[in-house]
Amino acid sequence: MLDEKSIIYIVSDSIGETAEQVARAAAAQYGGIVSEIRRIPYVSEKQTIKEIISEAKAHNSIIVYTMVIPELKEYLENEAKDQGIIYVDIMGPVIDAISHITKAKPIYTPGIIRQLDEEYFKKVEAIEFAVKYDDGKDPRGIKKADVIILGVSRTSKTPLSMYLANKNLKVANIPLVPEVEPPKEIFDISSKKIFGLTSSPNKLNAIRQERLKALGLSFEANYANMDRILQELDYSEKIMKRIGCPVIDVTHKAIEETASIILRIMKGEN
């Protein structure tokens, strides 16, 4: 039975936060009778475990642990048993249960959930970046971006930006319009970060007509005029040549295909 001098040792081959939360929740049921909770994170050697067991034996202690590396987990259990110390495995039973129902083997990687959380927050940050710097809203994003997408209207800049953001890339996209000088920032950064998108005039004409239809506007609008489209494409080609960036024809490409090309180029692949 735990008394006022009782200590709970939290042992983990990762940060040990999960085990500590469980231990504190359990200890709270005893009205403060547990005097201390000691967390020992990132345990990677048997000698460390041996020292913890020796210290725990000198007190009225239990060991609560989240060890996923089988060799260290087994060593801790054997040492605790030999010294008559109560030990509680927080994750083991759940891991075993999942293995039983899935017939799969765990990867035994300490701290994997924290790594997954970091990936998640990187993705969220990249998506927020893509929204903030979509359609040339703020040219300051150009120098902060991992990728800059250029192109005339309806070349799928925004959906491509969002797709790449889901790959944890910070993307800014800039519309190219003959009457508007592009941000000077695109000429100040490496052309390796910039990708131009182009499409066939007929495809753009069809897409823009559909856009006008959706907005309840006339097909006669300059936006879908073929001469206007040719003018825009000619202007965008000159800008892209001036920058010296790769140009991708998206006429018959899905977003995934275009993104794949960009990722391959960024990795230095052909």
> Which residues fall in the annotated binding site for ADP?
151-158
SS3 for the chain is CCCCCEEEEEEECCCCHHHHHHHHHHHHHHCCCEEEEEEECCCCCHHHHHHHHHHHHCCCEEEEEECCCHHHHHHHHHHHHHCCCEEEECCHHHHHHHHHHHCCCCCCCCCHHHHHHHHHHHHHHHHHHHHHCHHHCCHHHCCCCCEEEEECCCCCHHHHHHHHHCCCCCEEEEECECCECCCHHHHCCCHHHEEEEECCHHHHHHHHHHHHHHCCCCCCCHHHCHHHHHHHHHHHHHHHHHHCCCEEECCCCCHHHHHHHHHHHHCCCC
Q: Please name the amino acid found at residue 41.
A: P
Annotated binding site: 151-158
Strand order in the sheet with 6-12: 34-40, 6-12, 61-66, 86-89
Distance CA 17, CA 42 (A): 11
